[in-house]
Structure 1
Amino acid sequence: MKLELEEEAPATPSDVPSLPSTTVPTSSNTPASRPSYSNVPFTTVPAGGGVLGTIARLRVRLEEQEELLRTTCMEAETSFTDMAQLQAECQPSREEANYILQALEAELAACDREIEEIKEHLAQKSLLINVNESEVQLARDALAAQSKKYAEIVGTLIHDVYDIGECMSSQLQKPNTGNGERIETDVTVMYLYMIKMITEAKMLHLRVNQLEEGRVRNVQLLRRSKDEYAIRVRGLVVNVKSLTEKVGDSDYRIQQLQNMVNKA
């Protein structure tokens, strides 16, 4: 900043040279907040007196400028002292800020490492998920093939059950079922059909028991009849033997009589 001293415009003799304006440089280190003295009023010296009056006025102004310069220097020194004190006070904060910055950098590096580890872990998990998805797809395919095979087996079993039911009784009519398209419905129909088959089987079992009882009675009657017939046959055999003996005796007597007749 420059402080300029401007001459007043009093009437001066033409033979007195005019003095150039005086400029007082100030220090560049002066804080920007220092008050400006460019507008400070100067003590006015009454005009007149010629050259002596002008010199007196300049001297007064120079004294005022010197006083202003001393004041400015004192303020600058005070400002420098305050700045040094502020720098001393800010030094621990700077060190702490540097320490915090280093800690943050270390934490950032640790976070970067952790992020890399997480990325690697995610890559491994993704690979494992892909492998698991492949295994699940294989399991699904195997399950579909096995379900198809079981459906064919169940369909064959259902048809066999219906055939057995028809063989058991003509009253058991084969129901209309799908061609393995709806296994659950076919199994339900087969279950109801098997209930009817169980009822029919119970009736057949009862009938078989009745027939078995009749067969046992017939066997017993046959055995009794056989025993009676055996007794009769033995009696007839005895009678035949006795008759045979009698016939033999009769033949012998007839032979003797014939011999006696021939001799006579």
Structure 2
Amino acid sequence: MSASKPIVNIAAYKFITFDDTVEKRSAFRAICEELGLKGTILLSPEGINLFLAGAREGIDGFLSWLRADQRFADIEAKESYYDRQPFTKMLVKLKREIITMKNPLIRPEEGRAPAVNAQTLKRWLDRGHDDHGKPVVMMDTRNAFEVDVGTFDNVVDFRIDKFSEFPAVVEEHKPEFAGKTVVTFCTGGIRCEKAAIHMQNVGYDSVYQLEGGILKYFEEVGGAHYSGDCFVFDYRTALNPQLEATDTTQCFACRAVVTPREQLSPYYVEGESCPHCRKAMRENAPEGAAA
């Protein structure tokens, strides 16, 4: 961390039985407020998912506190740095799932699908096949608007709007991946962990999850075989392969991702509108009406 980027951002999750979320919610909120942290923590019977930012000592203090609970003693956090606080609030939410798939039979705590680390994946992509000679296919498990910010080259993208759509669409397309090794991926690893298990359950015979997701891949090997940036769910909007915030932003009005190129449009007014708003207005306007 450099002096010019004093804020530490962490993302972490763990699938584990967590049946006292209601009781623990106030403790999580209190420790974060005491340490001056902001962000979002999701507590669920299936585990925890968190995005936090603050000073180094605050982040370290929180992780020490969290790991004192034996259920989270081995939780790993991915770090990046920023020159200002990317969150405006500190939220601790109770959820049914830490990532919504609406498939209660998927329980990563009971066993994960095989994982591939960043260095091995890069080697496979350099060669065009895995260690057994099978062609490697990258499958994006994120929502379409995230994919549009950046993804791996030659990716399979089902253009889903929410993760709960993934199980049905991936089962429908299973015959297309016969004889191939499929590597699922997402931002930080949580979605592809569920995705890979489901794919095994429906008969995919060679499927892996990218350990730590795109952010861990960026951290360990940079942007090889990846085009664009990685969407993140905070005010930075997107990170480049150097884990630096980019000029990509989100529209305050419609929440669409607005690239630097789109920000040159006369329809982009910071905090008010963007080209995506304009397109939606034109599509929804009554016939013959100006938009």
TM-score bracket, normalised by the shorter chain, equals under 0.3
TM-score, scaled to structure 2: 0.15
Higher relative contact order (CA 8 A, sep 6+): 2
TM-score, scaled to structure 1: 0.16
Greater helix share, structure number: 1
Greater strand share, structure number: 2
